Structure 1
């Protein structure tokens, strides 16, 4: 059996250079490295690191990167993980970060060995507890899972690969992890996820339309049903489900256009919307949007209503957070 070589970026004593979730370049020294029992799907691999900073701070981090360089090394999967982390970080701003989604610490996307640093996951994959969750834990699981989806929806992304392996449970709160197949809302749908958890519109030969923030409702419904009943996902039939469960999941397994939104599912559980209202927009993003409309008005005035304003946006006060990571070797770019 051949032992995989240890990436040089994870050896104790190595100085790790990356950008934090605000886009600021930082350095940290690897003081400890441990094997990660929750390895991601190939071609990615991960390990657990202890990072020490010059100011005396320390971080426990999950280092995720390709197992080997070259074609098929998982760079797109890393890009998706970084994109999701950046959008969630921007949405939360200086406020508290939701424990229901995994947290981005930092990333390096353009080097020879790209990687992403995540806060260690909470709990264990819920696949190990399917059918054995306590009745008193069922409602907290449902609320926390839907709370996590509400945050991703508000951030303008869809996970697209919810499963018993990417959703963790610690007997108190669910956590959504593994955003390697995430996509921004508004992009064309493509095949994503894996059976039996993928929604019909994400399967080969059926993918169509555009991604929305509620694309994960179908998979979340299957998970909630299986955790509550212990039945196999193929038997997710609401006809003989407990009344409370049938009421919660009504319409979830129907066509995409008729499914309830994440906010509606939270309302059915009498849970408040976790996303604060009046969140401050990203100044740089709004300024770019205003510049786009101004340019469009000059080139194609017939496409812009005469009453459309062109506000003057102030210069950003801090570092600009890229909207998505580049592919290897390319400069940062924004999704139009």
Structure 2
């Protein structure tokens, strides 16, 4: 039986059409909770989804009022493409729990959305100065493993911050796939210090999986010491924490070229790992042309959404005009740098080059 508190939190069940991660059309009965303030960065919003007797999912959607916002449309398409790429590569393997589990999506809906299974555990930010050595080893191993697995499918997570990493007794789960870009693309200024690598923040050179290793090191520094690390290189207190320095000292090098590749570092943390990994992806020579196609399709969809609608019926003269339901409701700032504010992470920019969902295959 549905809990009364849950019943009060949402409306009636309604039919929801979407596409499964395998590409099949789905129609399910779903009920939605209210929008959760600061759940994801604006202009996207997040809300819980109930399919049966429990709130078992999370929907991230772009409100209809933002249908002409090409940057926001690109961001949700990028998130969808990235999470589907990883899901299709590792679903059914022992690595699947490291990443969010998509249930369905529709980037062509009036309000584009993706539905995830509910996040596991809690943010590792809650573990600051309370992480045991054994927990530390599991978290750093899982983070490096996730970076290496994403590298294998040609992706780099640019938004690794404590709030983007969930933790429970089964290990980590990595979120904020809206901050994922493609390996080898020109870096754009992105992320917040100290978690984003210097070259990434300054938009220098080409995206490298070792960008994410810097972020792993900074997350672990925060967990072990309770303090943020240095934004440009190793912190002065690193030698005072041998459990951190003995494994991760090389990832604090200011330049990606001076950090070890994820696979090399993973061998230190998990000897023998990688036998069942895909080969590291190489940049796609057709990628610029695919991006041009995606951009053209987004513009076409945006122009169709902006087509004028027929005017609504006139209200009786005595009835005052109704305000839109969202008018006057507080919205969080789009450019906040408050790292712990979001469920998914603390980066404040989106890469407009990472969308690819129109191609269907994503790889």
Q: Same fold (TM over 0.5)?
A: yes
Query: Equivalent residue of 1:137, what SS?
Result: helix
CA RMSD of aligned residues (A): 3.3
Stretch deviating more after TM superposition (144-153 or 21-30)? 144-153
Q: 1:118 pairs with 116, 119, 128, which one?
A: 116
Please give the alpha-carbon distance, in whole angstroms, between the structure 2 residues aligned to 1:158 and 1:222: 16
Between the two structures, name the one with larger relative contact order (CA 8 Å, sep ≥ 6). Answer: 2
Q: Which residue of 2 aligns with 1:14?
A: 14
Q: Which residue of 1 aligns with 2:217?
A: 221
Q: Which residue of 1 aligns with 2:206?
A: 210
Q: TM-score, normalised by structure 2?
A: 0.68
Q: Does 1:232 align with 2:258?
A: no
Q: Which residue of 1 aligns with 2:27?
A: 27
Runs of 4+ in 1 over 4 A off after TM superposition: 34-38
- With over 3 angstroms needed to count, the CA separation of the structure-2 counterparts of 1:264 and 1:238, relative to structure 1, is farther
Asked whether the equivalents of residues 107 and 116 of structure 1 are also in contact (C-alpha less than 8 Å), the reply is yes
Map 1:1-336 to 2 at 5 A.
11-31=11-31, 33=33, 39-51=39-51, 60-67=56-63, 69-70=65-66, 71-72=68-69, 74-92=72-90, 94-96=92-94, 98-203=96-201, 206-234=202-230, 236-237=235-236, 239-254=238-253, 255-273=255-273, 276-277=276-277, 327=298, 329=301, 332-333=358-359
TM-aligned CA deviation for residue 51 of structure 1:
2.4
Query: Equivalent residue of 2:252, what SS?
Result: coil
Stretch deviating more after TM superposition (141-150 or 71-80)? 71-80
Please give the alpha-carbon distance, in whole angstroms, between the structure 2 residues aligned to 1:226 and 1:141: 12
Asked whether the equivalents of residues 150 and 275 of structure 1 are also in contact (C-alpha less than 8 Å), the reply is no
Please give the alpha-carbon distance, in whole angstroms, between the structure 2 residues aligned to 1:208 and 1:81: 23
Q: TM-score, normalised by structure 1?
A: 0.73
- With over 3 angstroms needed to count, the CA separation of the structure-2 counterparts of 1:265 and 1:272, relative to structure 1, is same
- With over 3 angstroms needed to count, the CA separation of the structure-2 counterparts of 1:142 and 1:263, relative to structure 1, is same
Unaligned runs of 5+ in 2: 1-9, 287-293, 303-356
TM-aligned CA deviation for residue 34 of structure 1:
6.2
Please give the alpha-carbon distance, in whole angstroms, between the structure 2 residues aligned to 1:275 and 1:67: 44
Asked whether the equivalents of residues 165 and 172 of structure 2 are also in contact (C-alpha less than 8 Å), the reply is yes
Query: Equivalent residue of 1:132, what SS?
Result: coil
Q: Which residue of 2 aligns with 1:319?
A: none
Unaligned runs of 5+ in 1: 1-9, 282-287, 293-323
Please give the alpha-carbon distance, in whole angstroms, between the structure 2 residues aligned to 1:79 and 1:149: 21
Count of residue pairs the alignment pairs up: 282
Asked whether the equivalents of residues 101 and 175 of structure 1 are also in contact (C-alpha less than 8 Å), the reply is yes
